[in-house]
Amino acid sequence: MHPPVVIGGVVLLGVALSPALPAPPVLAGLIACALAARLHRGLLVPAALLLGALVAVGLPEGPALTGPVVVQGTVAAAPTGRQADLDVWACAVDGGPFAPCGGRVRVVFETPPSPGSSWVVSGRAGPPDADGLGGPQPALGMERARIRTLIRASRARRIGGDLPDTPVAEGPLGLLAAVARGDRRGVDPDSWRILRDTGTAHLLAISGFHVGVVAGA
């Protein structure tokens, strides 16, 4: 019997390997391993590996945009610095009309947006690159999230209802808000320190939380 921490680690490994794996074989392999694991517990590890890969490859692929664009979308989670991922629903390229689109794009805003807020963003789009993004291998992280477009916003207008500019919950409620909707602004420094020391800070990302739930189950 493999301890849960091992299974959880294997799931995360599957997420990391996902860019190199096509979705249909991953799904077929996961189903086969899951059925076989009912008869042989030793197959739990390959099943967990395929599950992690499926979590990532199952995300909708974002649009590949270039040149001047305008997109409409919702901030998927709390921003990292000035960068945030938008779940887009409409895109206009090079002055053309809006057309339906789906998936995520990464936007570099002038000021960090609120998670859950909706925006109309104008700017110049291109493929992901590491220049000026910060963090370790940012382009690889975008690939794992199936993001194919980076937009440097020249103008951004907020639309509809938004989260408040300051967190409405702090302490344990702030931690709950971070887990439930990706709004990490209410997480106090002591909580961040504990999460970093225990290696669980990734669980405050939406994808990390989903992996944690699966691993715990």
Give residue for tokens 């805003």: 109
Assigned domain for 34 exists: yes
Same domain, 185 and 136: no
Same domain, 84 and 52: no
Assigned domain for 165 exists: no
Cβ partners under 8 Å of residue 153, min gap 6 = 107, 108, 109, 110, 121, 122, 123
Cβ partners under 8 Å of residue 74, min gap 6 = 86, 87, 116, 117, 118, 119
Same domain, 77 and 153: yes
Q: Report the CATH number at residue 99.
A: 2.40.50
Task: Please count the structural domains in the chain.
Answer: 3
Assigned domain for 120 exists: yes
**Distance from CA of residue 92 to its chain's centroid?**
23
Length of the chain equals 217
Assigned domain for 133 exists: yes
Same domain, 90 and 112: yes
Same domain, 30 and 90: no
pLDDT in tens, the chain (217 residues): 445 544 444 444 444 444 444 544 444 454 455 545 555 555 555 555 555 555 555 567 889 999 999 999 999 887 888 999 999 999 999 888 999 999 999 999 999 898 888 999 999 999 986 544 444 445 556 766 778 899 999 999 998 754 555 555 566 767 776 766 666 767 778 887 887 788 776 666 544 444 444 444 4
Same domain, 106 and 148: yes
Instruction: Go through 98-128 and write b for each residue having 16 or more CB atoms within 10 A of its CB, e for each that does not.
Output: eeebebbbbbbbeeebbbbbbbbbebebeeb
Same domain, 76 and 123: yes
The confidence score (pLDDT) of residue 81 equals 85
Domain residue limits at 185: 172-194+203-216
Assigned domain for 210 exists: yes
The confidence score (pLDDT) of residue 119 equals 93
The confidence score (pLDDT) of residue 133 equals 47
